[in-house]
Structure 1
Amino acid sequence: MFSPGRSRRPGNRGLHGAPAGRSSRRGLVMSSDLHAALDLGSTAIKAVALRGGVVAAQVSRPIRGRLQPCLAGVLEELSRALPEARCMLVAVTGNRAGACAEFLGVTHVNPIVATCRGVGHLAPEAGAALELGGEHSTFLRFGPPTETGNRALEDFAVNGACSAGTGAFLEQEAHRFGLSIEEFARRAATSQHSVSIAGRCAVFAKTDLVHKHQNGIPLDDLAYALCLAIAQSLAREVIGAQTPPRPLALVGGVAANGGVRRAVIETLGLDQGELVVPNEHALVGAIGAIIAARDLPTRSELPLAEALARVRTSAPPASPRVVLSPLAPDGPPPAPHVGKPEPSARQPMSGGTLGIDIGSTSTNLAWLAPEGTVRYTHSVPTRGDPLAAAAAVLRALEERHGVVSPAAVGVTGSGRRFVAELIGADFAVNEITAHAAGCARYLPDADTVFDIGGQDAKYIRLEHGAVIGFEMNKVCSAGTGSFLEEMATVLGLDIVGEFDHEALRSRAPIELGERCTVFMASEIARRLQEGCAREDLAAGLAYAVVRNYLGRVVGRHQPGRRIVFQGGVAANGAVVAALRMVLGHDVTVHPFNHAAGAIGVGLLAAEQVCGPSRFQGLRERDLSRIRTRSFSCPQCSNRCTVHVTRGPSRRRFFAGGLCDRYDGRGEVDRGNGGRSAERLDLFAEREAAATRWVAEASPGDEGAVGIPRALLFLEQLPFWTTFLNHLGVPYVLSPPTTRPTLERGMVLARHDVCLPLTVAYGHVDALVTAGLRRILLPSVASLEHGTVAER
């Protein structure tokens, strides 16, 4: 989370004595010599050379887990861009850049100072600046110009250890949807509808995105929803309750994202022209570092060619670290047994059962013969489009076996209801039941199932093949397949093949602890900047996945002795080795670890379905006939946007909304449920009961007391209104909760608090705005419900 309470430093006027920036470029006094600086970010290294205050050359490269080669490549490319000139490296800036500056023997410029000076040079008219980088966000507020024409830094705030809402987070989500960050930004900038997602935590937002896209919400709307959630989180956690001075400069690499720019304008209520994005927005730190270094009375500098030679011939000293046991002390472990479907000739298949597992990151299909034998399996990436993934696995099945006529079709996974409705499946069941059935089929003596998929992790306890207990990861997806793949990307490794190879050859795995996805990305970036070997970090990640799973999913449960490991992550040899090392005994990998859920739901469909199948299939050419429209639900003041998807069979599927009136419902599901809900609105009944004895006064009445419609005050409203009525004290209730109530509370709640308490802030603010000077906020120490006392 953003933690301004820990990182905000008010009143840092002229930090380290450095002014915020020049009033104009013309006012910058520099020699005609070339001066260069490095900006070591968490995800990329940028370099710039200035001549007379004008950019003469610039370079930017992603680190991708190899800090020293990246640094050498940046210096070499900058040197090639200036073949005839003598260029001096005068400064290094960026988070944790001090060690590099010391190694090169040049001036280290604080990144806050560098951003100040860079913004002052590139956008001297700005009253404030918001910098969005790979893993860090910074807000700077400038004071009025001083006598020298410079504007002092009046206040600043930075995000905490969590990098939610930064460039790395956006790139991860774009990659998961199979899009470049440029295409993701373009879609966000052109979205036509608003969708609400969780933006306070990157991992929660990712889970929310997966759920909504699995249920048919268009990608364009989700892309902008993510940008909007990020902007709202920045406004709440970094900028704070005060209105930022206009104009606002948006700098850093993320400033190139049109969706983020649109969201910042909307969230902060900026008018046309009040958001300034300089052309060199990504270079602001490096430019500012040169300017700040040149103004110092003494500085250390180094010829660019000598800096390149120093980086090529030696490495920065490594910092001390905690190491773990090697994953493969006796050499690479034997590969697990991989099941293969029984071969069959290419011929139409009928009478068997089809199982489809619509996962968040992959979609798996299994074709079972009538006796339950696996005849065919296939897997494709879901990439946020469950219908396209379902069509792809069905097309692969037809290409292999021709026309299929299953006796029953079962669907499981996070996108099961959406896909089942549109392809005409006969049976849909939760993942726990499906994966347990898939395990029992092949390993009937198993008493424990460890299942780690792309977004979900499950622990299942079995007895004679029946489920007697289970746990799942909560909203957080830390320690799952997507977590591992994203961290492998940070290391510059392909999760298939390369990650295993690197991790298993490590002799000194690095302890990384149990962390969420975003914290882990920051930790890996820090370790790479300290010079840690990539293979040691990969092995440490394998251990981290296992400890995350055992600590957060298995928890206090005691696994049995016959453990079966399944799910996509079970194919990762490094994670299997780490699991065996931590548990101290063997773990069996399911022969069809990817398709265990699809096999299980296929077996269950064969048992449960009677009569002819209603399966209609879904061809990829049918995807163009699928239509999604949106409407605003009028049932309450939230006015939720509901998306309706109509498939080739004319079946409709509803998704969206804060309640379950429509969300996740198909044509048949909705039927009578919708009409009965209209006859009896339980929320309206509750509101009528709570306000039955309310006799409100006017906010201007003398001595009037404000009562917020929030927390226990709302639950106990009949008590407090009766109490005040008998005392003859006039009172006023805050208006019912609306979206603006929540948004105002998010701005005012300066620390990480739960949603009900955030809403309470908004209600109190509404009462204060209405003119109330007395607010009733009783402290309830204990409360009795029936015979049970609660604290």
Structure 2
Amino acid sequence: MQALGICLGASTISLVGMARDGGGEERIVLRRSRSHEGNPRRVLRELLAEIDNLGSLQVAATGRKFRRHLTLSTISEPEAVELACRLLLPAGHPYRTVVSAGGESFMVYQLDEEGRIQHIHSGNKCASGTGEFLLQQLGRMSLSLAEVEEMSLPDKHYQVSGRCSVFCKSDCTHALNKGIPKDQVVAGLSRMMAGKILELLKKMPSRQVLLIGGCAANRAMVHYLREEIADLLILDEAPVMEALGAARWALEHETRPVRDLDGVFGTQRLNLSYLKPLTEFQDQVEFKEHPRGRAQPGDRCILGLDVGSTTTKGVIMRRRDKAIVAADYLRTNGDPVGASRRVYASLAEQLGPELRHQIVIEGLGVTGSGRQIAGLHALSEGVINEIIAHATAAVHFDPEVDTIFEIGGQDAKYTYITNGVPSDYAMNEACSAGTGSFLEEAAKESLGIGVTEIGDTAYQATAPPNFSDQCAAFIGSDVKGAAQEGVPLPDIVAGLVYSICMNYTNRVKGNRPVGRKVFIQGGVCYNRAIPAAMAALTGKKMVVPPDPGLMGAFGVALEVERRLEQGMLPPKSFDLDRLIAREVAYGQPFKCGGGKDCDRGCEISRVVIDGKSYPFGGICNRYDNLLFKRKVEVGGLDLVVQRQRRVFRDLAPTDPADLRPTVGMNRSFLVNTFFPLFNRFFSELGYRLVLPDRVDPAGVDQRNAPFCFPVELAHGFMADLLAKEPDFIFLPHIRAIRVADDATVSCTCPFVQGEPYYLRGTFRASQRRPILSPVFDFSNGFAAARPAFLELAAGLGVKERG
């Protein structure tokens, strides 16, 4: 062996050794790959220690951030890919498009006739659709890669969102909660990954494509790609192409010598600020204790169950003194019914073979993301949302509590309590960086430590780096970068803990008030570093209730008891042995016929329990209401539809007899708020406002960069609007809107403000007619924007009246 190439990937380190004989023939003589599990320095050192005569080899490295922390000769990933393709593909080959599907990102390279890279396209920064994201979701379903490889491809896949990792996680959780088989969910994830690649290929030659990277081993993803790509080539060297290219480069160039292993690593540091050690805030956290009770024969009890996305919790509460006499906390593993049955079995085992039959369970309440399917399995009407459950438990332990910070596996919630009742709440909308699952996955995947080690490790930190409250994908990258440059593990873990809490305080709590007594609860609080970080950021003392992970289960038991006492729930007894033994089967699903106002056609599962089939699922509560014979007057409940009708009620219909000139306005962003204002304005000036009717997929495809879904919709609606050929195009730039608190500075999203400019750049057809793009600032009310309206009217040739 004469040359060694190294690829430092987001999750894997690959090595390729090459040799050249006297006749100039080159061959691969070494090939190794190993997951670095968040510690690339250690794994690279171990791999290099296995190489004989390392100091005599020409060595080159490629990869992303980590290569900058090495003293080795390095080349970029595109250069490495280009060299590997030249080596492996014959002259005149037809593969002009190369897709690199790796652990952290997808890249597409376009080659010219001579095999040189002409163009590079990359996916957006969102983690959904990448190899690491797939591994995380398999872990949530308790599936290994080996088990997935043995799965046969199902006849149908469950469609999941690829737009955002949070939405995709939610889709997977909801699918499993509805009883969708795991193989269909895995197939849906693979189909989503294929869709990500196909989206990148829309503006590239895609009939003949070379696929490289670790994800090329995903058989299901490859299957879906081959449905769309006529000729998809996957070489044996696909997982190590970048390392092969680096080795090929090293054969041809003088490289920096490798004298010893210690000399391989440099000392470059990340440009980060640092936070105070968490130990400084330990005295700002109070951990409440509450002894467990012991069940006695004849005890009247309530069973509370909290079926979360990652964990399932259960308690048996004695009614006379509200003592918990049995409790457990288990992994959901993507199977809410199975997890519920395991919890029932654990509770029964704690009670013992005799006592389990000597207590009376008079009610059963279920909360959490899997509450509907778990409630159906238990045949209980006590299905209650988490806000009520957690607030009820907190007020039970301290009637003075007025603020609850609750961080769960997939959701993070804020609740404000007035007179013992939740009066305001908020939850994470589209970011997972403030949740327990992100903390666990980042610690495990990027740092190689288990969830139970996080708290003690974080308390050892002396200088936690500030990863801020940014998106989960960016925090994950910073965590990996810190690990790669040798920042001490305790400091990185503490910085990660801080980032979780920053995300919560900025994106979940926001500008909502923090009262005098703050409870912080949820399973993440078993990690004692989280409350300390929250105290550091808020300046408030944090109170952690007894068994913070059981608060949902305990709270739903308390709430069920209250409803039983008030006659809001019918009395019913529950038997643990029957609950443990009760199995669930799934019949053939069907599509809901909806009603006169619904055309969604939701797929409804048939859940078979004790020989009886129950319809389950859908976006509304129709079948749940049928099961429990509830009658609900829905006419006045759909406030979204009511608002939609009210906002657009004055839109003039298309009428050939209406000869007024037309102004086209896009159906996007703030149109749903300001349409009545602009419609009245143009109508008074003698113009008719026109809106697009549908999202044109061709318009969405014309966007020039990866955007969020609302911006994609704006492109699709714009294409439909242009097809209507209005006389003018109205694309206002709305800088700010008025908010209830006059002291708050208002500023709209940059994508909202930028709409007139990126749509004009994308749709050249828009420039064939006059475009009206006034700048409006409504932060001081509509009257303050009068000059902008006058200028707009003047642009239409209308002078100010009177």
TM-score, normalised to structure 2, is 0.78
Which residue of structure 1 aligns with residue 610 of structure 2?
648
Range moving further from structure 2, 386-395 or 310-319? 310-319
| SS of aligned partner of 1:595 | helix
Q: Which runs of 5+ in 1 are unaligned?
A: 1-32, 698-703
Counterpart of 1:265, as a letter, is R
Q: Deviations over 1:435-454 (max 9, x none)?
A: 11101111222222221111
2:522 equivalent in structure 1: 567
Match among 184, 188, 191 for residue 221 of structure 1: 184
Q: Does 1:362 align with 2:321?
A: no
Are 2:109 and 1:140 equivalent residues in the alignment?
yes
| Equivalent-residue separation in structure 2 for 1:593 and 1:253 (angstroms) | 40
The yes-or-no answer on 1:128 pairing with 2:87 is no
**Which one of 70, 78, 82 corresponds to residue 43 of structure 2?**
70
- What amino acid maps onto 2:323 in structure 1? T
Q: Partners of 1:757 and 1:596 in 2: how far apart?
A: 40
Q: Deviations over 1:92-150 (max 9, x none)?
A: 1011244344x13xx3111111112223433454220110111122101112x2xxxx3
* Cα 1:292/1:623, change in 2 over 3 Å: farther
Alignment of 1:285-324 (within 5 A): 285-295=242-252, 298-302=253-257, 307=258, 310-312=260-262, 315-319=265-269, 321-324=272-275
Deviation at 1:184, TM superposition (A): 4.1
1:667 to 613, 627, 630: 627
Match of 1:557 among 509, 512, 516: 512
- C-alpha displacement of 1:316: 2.2
Aligned mates of 1:705, 1:194 — CA distance in 2 = 45
Residue identity matched to 1:758? E
Structure 2 partner of 1:749: 703
* Residues 1:421 and 2:376 aligned together: yes
Contact 1:202-1:518 at 8 Å conserved across structures = no
- Per-residue deviation, 1:694: 5.0
Correspondence for 2:422: 467
State how 1:387-536 maps to structure 2 within 5 Å: 387-401=337-351, 402-403=356-357, 405-536=360-491
CA distance in 1, matches of 2:343, 2:470: 35
Q: What is the alpha-carbon distance in structure 2 between the residues aligned to residue 400 and residue 352 of structure 1?
A: 15
C-alpha distance in 1 between matches for 2:522 and 2:389: 12
User: What residue number does 2:737 align with?
Assistant: none
Amino acid at match of 2:17: A
* SS at structure 2 position matched to 1:151: coil
SS at 2:432 equivalent: coil
Q: Deviations over 1:448-495 (max 9, x none)?
A: 222111111122222442223222222322211101101111344444
One-letter amino acid of the structure 1 residue matched with residue 374 of structure 2: V
Q: Secondary structure at the match of 1:115?
A: helix
Give the residue type in structure 2 aligned to 1:122: L
Q: In structure 2, the residue corresponding to 1:341 is in which secondary structure?
A: coil
Alignment of 1:185-204 (within 5 A): 187=151, 190-204=153-167
Q: Which residue of 221, 224, 229 maps to 1:270?
A: 229
- Answer whether contact 2:402 2:516 (CA < 8 A) is retained: yes
**One-letter identity of the residue aligned with 2:421:** A
AA aligned to 1:118 is A
**CA-to-partner distance for each residue in 1:550-596, whole Å, 9 max, x for gaps?**
11122112312322221111111111222233334532210121111
Q: Deviations over 1:250-292 (max 9, x none)?
A: 11011111222233334xx223xx1111111110101112223
Change in Cα spacing, 1:574 to 1:395, as seen in structure 2 (3 Å) is: same
Q: 8 Å contact 2:293–2:323 — kept in the other structure? A: yes
Partners of 2:526 and 2:696 in 1: CA distance: 44
CA distance in 2: counterparts of 1:580 and 1:709, whole angstroms? 45
Task: Report if aligned partners of 1:66, 1:534 keep a CA contact under 8 Å in 2.
Answer: no
- The answer as to 2:203 corresponding to 1:246 is no
What SS class does the counterpart of residue 261 from structure 2 fall into?
Answer: helix
SS in 1 for 2:701: helix
Matched ranges for 1:11-30 at <5 A: none
The answer to whether residue 332 in structure 2 is matched with residue 374 in structure 1 is: no
SS of residue in 2 equivalent to 1:488: helix
Alignment of 1:343 with 2:294, yes or no, is yes
Answer yes or no: is 1:40 the counterpart of 2:8: yes
Residues 628/601 of structure 1: CA separation in 2 closer, same or farther (3 Å cut): farther
Deviation string 1:391-443 (CA, Å, 9 cap, x unpaired) is 11111122222246411111111121221122111312211111111011112
CA distance in 2 between partners of 1:247 and 1:439 (Å)? 60
1:394·1:619 contact (CA, 8 Å) conserved in 2?
A: yes
C-alpha distance in structure 1 between counterparts of 2:149 and 2:132, whole Å: 14
The aligned residue for residue 738 of structure 2 is none
User: Is this contact kept in 1: 2:108–2:121, CA < 8 A?
Assistant: yes
Distance of 2:603 and 2:427 partners within structure 1: 29
Instruction: Tell me: CA distance 1:779–1:626, structure 2 relative to 1, closer, same or farther (3 Å).
Output: closer
Conserved 8 A contact 2:98-2:108: yes
- Aligned partner of 2:123: which letter? N
1:20 matched residue in structure 2? none
Could you tell me whether the CA contact under 8 Å between 1:461 and 1:469 is conserved in 2? yes
Q: Please tell me whether the aligned partners of residues 286 and 542 of structure 2 are also in contact (alpha carbons under 8 angstroms).
A: no
Q: Structure 1 pair 86/506, CA: closer, same or farther in 2 (3 Å)?
A: closer
Residue type at the aligned position of 1:169: F
CA apart distance, 1:598: 1.0
With over 3 angstroms needed to count, the CA separation of the structure-2 counterparts of 1:254 and 1:776, relative to structure 1, is farther
Task: Give the residue type in structure 2 aligned to 1:644.
Answer: R
Q: Which amino acid aligns with 2:31?
A: Q
- More off after superposition, 380-389 vs 621-630: 621-630
Structure of greater relative contact order (alpha carbons < 8 Å, 6+ residues apart): 1
Corresponding residue pairs, total? 706
- 1:50 paired residue among 5, 10, 18: 18
Structure 1 Cα separation of the partners of residues 57 and 713 of structure 2:
55
Distance 1:789 1:229 in 2: 48
CA RMSD, aligned part only?
A: 4.2
Q: How far has the Cα of 1:639 moved from its partner? A: 5.5
State which drifts further: 402-411 or 420-429: 402-411
Letter paired with 2:703 = A
TM-aligned CA distance change 1:608 to 1:327, over 3 Å: same
Check 1:649–1:212 CA distance in 2 against 1; reply closer, same or farther (3 A cut): same
The range that moved more, 636-645 or 109-118, is: 636-645
Alpha-carbon distance in 1 for matches of 2:624, 2:249: 56
- Structure 1 residues 479 and 692, CA, compared in 2 at 3 Å: closer, same or farther? closer
Matching of residue 279 in structure 1 with residue 230 in structure 2: no
Q: Distance in 1 between matches of 2:621 and 2:288?
A: 46
Aligned partners of 2:377 and 2:584 also within 8 Å: no
1:233 maps to 196
* Alignment check: 8 A CA contact 1:359 1:382 kept: yes
d(CA) in 2 for partners of 1:111, 1:424: 56
Q: Tell me the residue number matched to 1:29.
A: none
- Given that 1:363 and 1:390 are in contact with CA atoms closer than 8 Å, whether structure 2 keeps it comes out as yes
Cα distance in 2, alignment partners of residues 675 and 668 from structure 1: 20
Structure 2 partner of 1:18: none
**Is the Cα–Cα contact under 8 Å of residues 446 and 476 in structure 2 kept in the other structure?**
no
Higher mean C-alpha deviation, range 110-119 or range 400-409? 400-409
